[in-house]
Structure 1
Amino acid sequence: MTRSCDIPGLQVPKSRFPDPQQDLPASEGEQRAVLGGGCFWCVEAVFLAMDGVTSVVSGYAGGSAETASYEDVCSGQTGHAEVVEVRYQPDRVSFGSLLKVFFSVAHDPTQLNRQGNDRGTQYRSVIFYENEEQKRVARAYIRQLGEAGVYADPIVTTLEPLEAFYPAEEYHQNFAARNPQQPYVRAVAAPKVDKLREGFPERLKTESSSNNTSIPGDHA
């Protein structure tokens, strides 16, 4: 079965993506964003490459602890979505900047309950907000992208309150970097990271700040 990681990323030019008109303040201390955009291996790879991001964990959100396992979530019956927990330094990268990359590089937000050939609510485009401020900024940016006509089709990203985040099994973590020669990683995760590199070079980690984590790309 073809997975979402087998589907090429979007080709919408960076110039069509506006900066968010609303954003969270650059407060001190680590913050987090929980985002779902299909296969978490590919979304994880994109955010791991961003400067100001201190960690990315693949996991599940939207359902109960009892069914927060890959086998259960893949059934599409648990309410969970495959997500990534992005921890970041807001004085180096803002919540709005993360959203811009989420919508322009990490996935296709116009696909309802699917990414590519992966179908089911577990692959939905979703932002799990921790507070009303995150919800406000995310809602405003979705509206802004719609008014700008960035996509030909409507954005279907849902905004859902974050009740709990459940880390996925260990073998899912940092999957793309640990498996750069896997066909699906080379087909989609690597091109998405390359798209980030080409479109947002100012957002990339420096070699010294990457903690020697190998992020897949065409050079892999």
Structure 2
Amino acid sequence: MNETKTCTKCGQAKPKGEYGKSGTRDGKQLYRPLCKACKRAADAGYRAENAEARRECQAGYRAVNRTRWAHGEGDLNAPKQCRTTDGCGRWLKRGDFHVKRDRPDGRESYCRTCAAIRRANRGYRKACRKAHGEPVGATCYLCDSTITSDAVPHVDHLIPRSLGGGDEPFNLRWTHGRCNVKRNNRLSTLGEALRLMPGLLPADYPLVIANRNVIAV
């Protein structure tokens, strides 16, 4: 039986699914006092009544930040380093980073390449976790070291997508963020292939991985 809650604005008793969530307390889910329909109407009314004030506030914010960035922080050719903990750590141009207005220098801490990888990884994490378990404690096949709790794991495609690899669970593995970024879309090395298949082949047996197959050469 669905639990109901009375909206403080329209006074109607509606299922709790019609209300937005507002956190938890003592393990119990809390809900907003207004139902979603009334909340949308209230937000629309507020924006209409305060349209001019909101425009002035936004214009002032842009003016302040434009002045701040002009004093040494607005140069798109200025050097900026990508995060070293789970990014590539490269020194690039400031223009190689997405805009992030609430940061001191107005740019993301990850370069565009690392940011794209992080966005893509969000969709693969569920499939990789289901097939290979949690990332903490797993072995990164790229560097052959354990992924610790303070590391930021990435999901890597054994056969890069740009070379025909798919998103099937057998083609996904947990890696360190930096290892995944450094690998980019190159083919797996002999050492990496042997770490994926321990004991399957002798260490001096040459391999090349391509087109979703392991081919002896």
TM range (shorter): under 0.3
Of structures 1 and 2, the larger Rg is shown by 2
Using CA pairs under 8 Å that are at least 6 residues apart, name the structure with larger relative contact order, 1 or 2: 1
Q: TM-score, normalised by structure 2?
A: 0.21
